[in-house]
Chain A
Amino acid sequence: MVLVALILCAALLAIVPIAIATGRSPSGRIIVYGASLVATTALVLIALGSLFAPPSTVTLPLGLPWLGAHFRLDALSAFFLAVVNLGGAAASLYAIGYGAHETAPLRVLPFYPAFLAGMSLVVLADDAFSFLVSWEFMSLTSWALVMAHHRVADNARAGYIYLIMASAGTAALILTFGLLAGPEGAYTFAQMRAAYPEFGAAVVLLALVGAGSKAGLVPLHVWLPLAHPAAPSHVSALMSSVMTKVAVYGFVRIAFDLAGEPAWWWSIVVLTLAGITTVMGVLYALMQHDLKRLLAYHTVENIGIIFIGIGLALAFKAHGMAAAAALALTAGLLHVFNHSLFKSLLFFGAGAVLNATGERDMEHLGGLIHRMPQTAFVFLVGCAAISALPPLNGFVSEWLTFQAILLSPQLPSWGLKLIVPAVGALLALSAALAAACFVKAFGVTFLGRPRMPAAERAHETDRFSLAAMGFLAALCLVAGIVPGIFMDALAPAVTSLVGQRLPIQTGVEWLSIVPIAESRSSYNGLLVFLFMIISGTLAASAIHRLASDRLRRAPPWDCGYPDPSPATQYTADSFAQPIRRVFGTVVFRACEHGEMPPPGDTSPARLTVTMRDLVWDTLYAPLASGVGAAADRLNHLQFLTIRQFLSLVFAALIILLLVLAIWP
């Protein structure tokens, strides 16, 4: 099975030269994206096929000479392979239509299939070297894609920061594998599993830094909202919804599979980071008025939710509560799947809006629902799903995470007893804020009146994009209605990691899902959906028969004030102003400063809002200035005279001779 998967990855890589050859011609786009669509769908089928099959391994003569490259397709990698390639297939389908507007095709087409292949290879790798090669190959190709529109200054800066953070992450992972492999270099995962690593804590912390920086945990997230919007939309969809999941896979594989028995305090670190990430992510998102940056920041929040699930699973596993650990891990992994669906959908929508209007800034959009009805509907389904509204899939994984939190009072350690409720509160707070954020995103972009002529001239996107978005929306609904199937698909992966699984969901009558026997609570997506449909049609038919159906159009009530200019509408900033006053003053030191013109003067009043990104100011700015200062001080050494260089050599000789004279 894994060999077939590898062949398909090789096929994806084979598309690269074709892309370079046919890049300029319009047919090139269709060939490349069509071929990657076929390859990724095949990979999805293989992944689904091997979800329940026993793990298959293969060793190729590549990679480290005496070791060879090991690849393995077990339940966990099968699930993530399916998630990666499902996102890839949707993005390829979408790109067939969206790619037509690409200004520099030769900078995007060759790297796109390579990026897909890189991600799939990371999930299949079974030894440290091939894992890191494919991991960094994934970052390299995505860096090239982020640099596709390098003429824009802050894209180049985003690409630069992204590559530095990615390399720092890889360095942390190299150190992790250094610890796991030990001095004699036992690099295959099988050897690592056998050898019991005594520095388990250091391994997990380094893995948290390495994988966390790629996933976007808060202190390490700064590159994500810069890099994701800079890439073309179908690539930023892939990066946000799929690449971050590969990072989650990296952490899960190391923390659960390779690092041996977890200590209880590991989960405290993961949970605190995850809690902060959820709230900070959504608060950042609320303050944005660039649609794609908003979605990128929101990815940070969802990564936090996933890591809450994983942190809880670590805590339960440390205390031997296998059933609860199975529940928490299933919640985390299900949210991986759900998030990859609706985040790709939302990014596709943002791409369609960008194509139609040429604008990313929500302040210049508005009223697109009249001009792009299908995109609006599908985008609405995406927004509802991400805000965890019941019939859709967002709610299911959040519900499971809440159930997992409810099981944690049985944890003996005091630290966890205090942290888990706090994390539960943060999760609830971020869910509510997410709903607010996506009311703003959908409302300001699609509803109301167009604020700029560009929004007025918008037109519906092509059918390929709509097909991709429709497919993902339908999948969101299906995952929301019958979550049992997807939870059972996760069972083999969860059993391999925590040794136990959730009760069989499809067996439960009426397709509802039951987290754990003793919690006796259950949720039935299908019934809730049917209930809403029935009551809705009941009300509609009652009104249709009893009430009058007369309807008249009239100008909206404007309180007698005659100026109908679109500027009177609420903009993204004004919509977020109440929440900014509640949370922003603490988190971003937001302060509003209004200058009123002197009485009688007709010049407009000015309201300026200043916010500071505390993470950047406290962590990255000093780091950058430190390196700059050191570089300046050392730079003088370049301009010494020959005599001074000679005295350097002389001093080195004398020191060494002194060492020899004194020491042995």
Chain B
Amino acid sequence: MSLDAVTAVLLIPALAAALLALLPGYRATARLNILATLLTFLVALSLLFTRPAPGPYLHVDDLNNVFIVLTTFVGFTTSVFSASYIDHELEIGRLTPTFLRFYHAMYQVLMFAMNLALVANNIGVMWVAIELATLTTVLMVGIYRTHEALEAAWKYFILGSVGIALALFGTILVYMAARPSIGEGLDAMIWTTLMERAASFDPALLNVAFVFLLLGYGTKVGLAPLHAWLPDAHSEGPTPISAVLSGLLLNVALYALLRFKMLLAANPEALAPGPLMVTMGLISALFAAFMLYRRRDIKRMFAYSSIEHMGIITFAFGMGGPLANFAGLLHMTMHSLTKSAIFFAVGHVSQVKGTQRIADMGGLTETHPVLGWGLVLGVVAIAGLPPLGIFMSEFLVVTSTFARAPWLAIILVLAILIGLAGLFLRLNTIAFGEPRGPVAEAKASYVPMFAHLALVLVAGIYMPPHLVAWFQNVAKLLG
């Protein structure tokens, strides 16, 4: 495999992981971590312009092009955030230096796994990459070794593995469906060849495969009945990991699901995956919206908000049609940027207030104005209020669905409204009102948070034409 950009995107994190596992000391490893993610991001940026030909194992096309850049960018900003976050964690002793090396190494392995999953052309390699990503995050969630962290990690491991196993079974079924028309061996797993000959596959087998894939990768996306691991994993793990989990890992899993939806879309007789995804999307959006109300832990609340947004995105892709698909892709990008920005803010808030319990924190815009207003802007963005990007995707989804299926659109709007009410009910106590909890000044880097929010704000008003072109022709592909 020639050393072109694609392999570089994979090699850098792998090398960095090895290196970081060896280097002791905090200052150097944190900076190396940031450097590694920066390098990967720059290489990924170069992918935007020169796009190598698709190889048997790795390929870059319109869909994963944007997501690689997004993943590496958020990875980079999260590493910047984690530098200051971990510094504080070391001070208060929640993280011992020995685990620090393990943390940085695992961070880079996670980046490697996600990049591999995105660029993998072979559906088997994609499955392995996602499995690796799951295992690394399981270890990261359990890193604090408190009771709750262990319980969350154990739950994440069991549910994640069951999900992954189902996904593997689905992949095998896809292979079985593809084998008669493509022939045995490696090329029956190559995604690009599968796409070309998708029409000739056995539709019934594809349907069963899609059911398993939907449940398998759906667990990783956090859709309603399969979501149980997500809230605990988010709230017990270190915040940079929650940001990466919520911002990127959910997207990567949904990206994998999209790959297979493209496959089914290419095969006319296969039953439309739409209704399946629409029902699961609606159930998880409505369920998560209601769960926001009684939350007492701030990170668990935003985890449920991630489930709600993943539900909305799956609903958008389930509805299909150019407008809804475009909205879904846009929503994925916007959600990962906004949610990671919110988790940056939440990380600093929990450090400053020394707790994650909402009851013990209050009046943030009084005590820490910059952090407070950053959180308010983040919540405004995630609630889907207009000047920011998420409103555009919600607007497109609702308007395009209302004309075709009024009742579905009304239920979706209801879910969004209930979610918004829950979020702002908590925001009122956290950001406004009488200040509660310590008021020590936070030694924190706000740059990544405001960078993300600025991007979301710009995207809400103006979208660069290239990005739009990619999204549009991928939307057509998605059917």
Contact = CB atoms under 8 A, between A and B. Distances in A.
A and B touch in the complex (CB under 8 A): yes
Interface of A: 61-66, 106, 128-129, 132-133, 135-137, 140, 147, 150-151, 153, 156-157, 159-160, 163-164, 167-168, 170-171, 174-175, 177-179, 181-185, 187, 627-628, 630-632, 634-635, 637-638, 640, 642, 645-646, 648-649, 651-653, 656-657, 660, 664
A151 B434 CA distance: 6
A185 B396 contact: yes
B226 interface: yes
A634 B287 contact: yes
A165 to B, nearest CB: 10
Contact of A646 (B162, B380, B462): B162
Contacts of A136: 385-387, 391
A140 B380 contact: yes
A464 to B, nearest CB: 29
Contacts of B293: 627-628, 631, 635
A198 to B, nearest CB: 11
B468 A65 contact: yes
Contact of A174 (B395, B433, B461): B395
B252 interface: no
Nearest to A63: B461
B424 A160 contact: yes
A162 to B, nearest CB: 10
Interface stretch (B67-75, B127-135, B190-198, B398-406): B398-406
B225 interface: yes
Contact of A183 (B154, B404, B434): B404
Given A136-B386, A182-B403, A631-B290, A664 B409 contact: no
A227 to B, nearest CB: 14
B35 interface: no
Overall SS of chain B's interface: helix
B404 A652 contact: no
Nearest to B288: A634
A168 B398 contact: no
Nearest to A663: B271
A634 B433 contact: no
Nearest to B421: A164
Contact of B387 (A61, A133, A183, A640): A133
B413 A631 contact: no
Contact of B409 (A160, A163, A175): A175
B211 interface: yes
A178 B162 contact: no
Nearest to B330: A65
B82 interface: no
7 contacts: A106-B369, A178-B399, A631-B292, A638-B291, A645-B159, A649-B159, A652-B225
Contact of B159 (A135, A627, A631, A646): A646
Given A164-B417, A627-B421, A660-B211, A649 B399 contact: no
Contact of A128 (B204, B287, B369, B399): B399
A649 B280 CA distance: 13
B207 A664 contact: yes
A664 B271 contact: yes
B290 A183 contact: no
A65 B458 CA distance: 12
B392 A660 contact: no
A184 B322 CA distance: 9
Given A136-B386, A656-B211, A163 B291 contact: no
- Most chain A beta-carbon contacts within 10 A, residue among B392, B395, B416, B418: B395
Given A627-B293, A631-B290, A634-B290, A648 B228 contact: yes
A63 B463 CA distance: 8
B163 interface: yes
B413 A175 contact: yes
A640 B228 contact: yes
Contacts of B394: 174
A587 B144 CA distance: 60
B166 interface: yes
B211 A637 contact: no
A140 B204 contact: no
B400 A178 contact: yes
Nearest to A150: B432
B185 interface: no
A137 B229 CA distance: 36
Nearest to A206: B402
